[in-house]
Structure 1
């Protein structure tokens, strides 16, 4: 494991990640999101791309403009920005048919009805915290308290593309057929990944999502 990049100020875990990036590690996803928002609000010269993870932020840079030794102190001065429900901006709408195999099971698990669970899922704004697992798979966090659902005790060998799912504090849409252990509550025809788009991912980090009940619509 590489040693932290030396920098002044309070401890901020910044480590070299190759020749064109540094990796900043945090204790919670909320800290990652707030730090990224602060860095986007006050861009640091030389930074070319930000890639969020559950507890990390990969900061890519142009080596002709900066380097880890100069970049680390600048990152130290970033003021985190905590998003609020008052934040405005474009929202991507995803229609969902709520007939997932696990819908009734999840409703019973949290002590509610299937209709109430659908109302909870559609009644908030979701934000892409980071992407991973498969191209176009966005880990979405909600604007109301999460259900903190466990994954299935046994994963499915194949989850259909377009499946809308819940696990832990997240919701997601499977961009393609793949194995998976999340709780399936519905399905959508919206493509989460397409090489005909730029960027190909429908919901890169920071994208705001609103799920709509296709049956009611």
Structure 2
């Protein structure tokens, strides 16, 4: 599927799929990679989503017709994109207790024990489809429907950074302290967003997240090491299938 739609007078939305899937995500990443490699002077930026990419351009440098022809040529070259190896970032997570106050809610809602919820949640390798509404927030795919749980009826005014939550059939990690209505089942001591760090954002679309259950005392140890700058998350790689 390839379809383009004008977005105002300085943007074009390029639709590359109709469903959220790893296959569509790979097309979007390939398209983004080719745009990055080509560095066309008329392009200002592009924003990938689950199924599309919105391209913003300077109409004084490239016309709408020239841009659509250019984007068609990019689409025709997607098979040439050589995506880099994906990274798997292992996220140490302390589940339940004061760090995961909604773990019992999720367990009750699904007729499971808290231990079963932890096992199910930490089993998959989650694809990062895109980065979200605050800096560093990952939109993850791959959570089991067995632990799907509706959002809280009354959102919290503050959700601590690092909180791991469930909303419907999605799971994610709060990169900053913000209001939120997700069911919080745990927390990671890692900083997903740190403006004083280079790079400031830990995760990246197209990579993967693996939650690793840890006890509270280990959480505190890692938290202290993170504050000192002496902790590096475990990162492994694998080659994507083409």
TM-score range, shorter chain: 0.7 to 0.9
Q: Over the residues paired in the alignment, what is the CA RMSD in angstroms?
A: 3.2
SS at match of 1:154: coil
Instruction: State the aligned residue count.
Output: 201
Matches within 5 A, 1:110-189: 110-142=110-142, 147-189=147-189
Cα distance in 1 for partners of 2:51, 2:89 equals 25
- From the two aligned structures, give the one with the greater helix fraction: 2
In structure 1, the residue matched to 2:53 is 57
- Between Structure 1 and Structure 2, whose CA radius of gyration is higher? 2
Cα distance in 2 for partners of 1:59, 1:75 equals 12
Identify if the C-alpha distance between structure 1 residues 78 and 146 changes in structure 2 by more than 3 Å, giving closer, same or farther. Answer: farther
TM-score (norm 1): 0.75
Deviation at 1:165, TM superposition (A): 0.6
Gaps of 5+ in 1: 1-9, 81-87
Cα distance in 1 for partners of 2:214, 2:174 equals 18
Matches within 5 A, 1:35-46: 35-39=27-31, 45-46=38-39
Deviation at 1:214, TM superposition (A): 0.9
Q: Comparing 67-76 with 117-126, which one deviates more in the overlay?
A: 67-76
Deviation at 1:138, TM superposition (A): 1.0
**Which residue among 3, 16, 33 is the counterpart of 1:12?**
3
* Deviation readout 1:38-67 (Å, 9 max, x if unpaired): 425766744676532244322456886895
Gaps of 5+ in 2: 80-84, 219-242
